[in-house]
Amino acid sequence: MSLDVKLRETEVLVPAPDCQIRSVVISPVGEGPWPGVLLYTDIFQLTESTLRTARRLASAGYLVCVPEIYPRALAGVALEFDDAGKQAGLAAAAGTSTAQFDSDRVAVLDFMEQRGDITELRAVGFCLGGHLAFRAAFDPRVAATVCFYPTGLHDGALGADDAGSLARAADIHGRLMVIFGSRDPHVPADARLRTLSALYAAGLEDLELHVYAGGEHAFMRDIGARHDPELTDLALTEAVSFFNGR
């Protein structure tokens, strides 16, 4: 990834049927067009930590759109990485239905598709956002998806109801990469095996799974003791290579 690319960053309100979704759009300086990446945050929303990762992806030649995942419950709020922030994020998830998550996804992809500076669409996400990125892959407009340590795929846990996402794996027609850490208590070995088995059983062939030895949950968040800079660099390099079709 290039680290000397100048970036343009703007904040927009994406219209959805029952709300507006505050989103940050980051792209290289210039007219483009670029491949577009829908980036889903973890439960803490638009933190500077996640935006730093989004900027790194944008520097590789992408227009990255980062929407709030709780535009109804926590509009305009970036949560702190503490117990209170965690509980607020989990509560907002519990109050959001799968239908609302899906409606928001359609709204953001529509917004991206209608821009004149985006070519092909891709998706990426972290933690709960990794699960949301997996569901974004159901949209035939999304050519490739990377899910970083997605939670709830193996048991349907996402928001207010059972998302049943794995049961819809056959709806994915684009390329898919899933990256886990081996020490992630939210996605232990049996959950990873259940997820992978379901993906292959669904007939997905353009599929990659990476399990990084020693990686903890949220190892890519550059704040806190779980951050692993080496694995983060490796994961982002793998994602960009995957998006570029190797």
Half-sphere exposure of residue 44: CA atoms within 13 angstroms, side-chain side: 17
Q: Which tokens go with 94?
A: 């519990």
pLDDT of the residue at 1: 57
CA distance 67 to 70: 9
Q: Which tokens go with 232?
A: 């983060």
Enumerate the β-bridge partners of residue 226: none
Q: Which of 73, 99, 235, 236 is nearest to 160 (CA)?
A: 99
Question: If you average pLDDT over every residue of the chain, what do you get?
Answer: 96
pLDDT at 3 over 90: no
Tell me the average pLDDT across 89-94: 98
Tell me the average pLDDT across 190-218: 96
Domains and CATH numbers, the chain: 7-243 (3.40.50.1820)
Q: Which of 14, 45, 69 is nearest to 25 (CA)?
A: 14
Give the pLDDT confidence of 21-56 residue by residue, as tens digits. Answer: 999 999 999 989 999 999 999 999 999 999 999 999
pLDDT of the residue at 5: 84
Cis peptide before 150 (omega within 30 of 0): no
Q: What is the CA radius of gyration of the chain?
A: 16
pLDDT of the residue at 246: 76
CA distance 148 to 178: 6
4 pLDDT band, cuts 50/70/90, is low
Tell me the average pLDDT across 151-157: 97
Q: Which tokens go with 50?
A: 């996640």
Question: What is the pTM assigned to this prediction?
Answer: 0.97
pLDDT of the residue at 93: 98
The percent of residues in the chain predicted with pLDDT above 90, rounded, is: 96
Greatest CA separation for the chain: 46
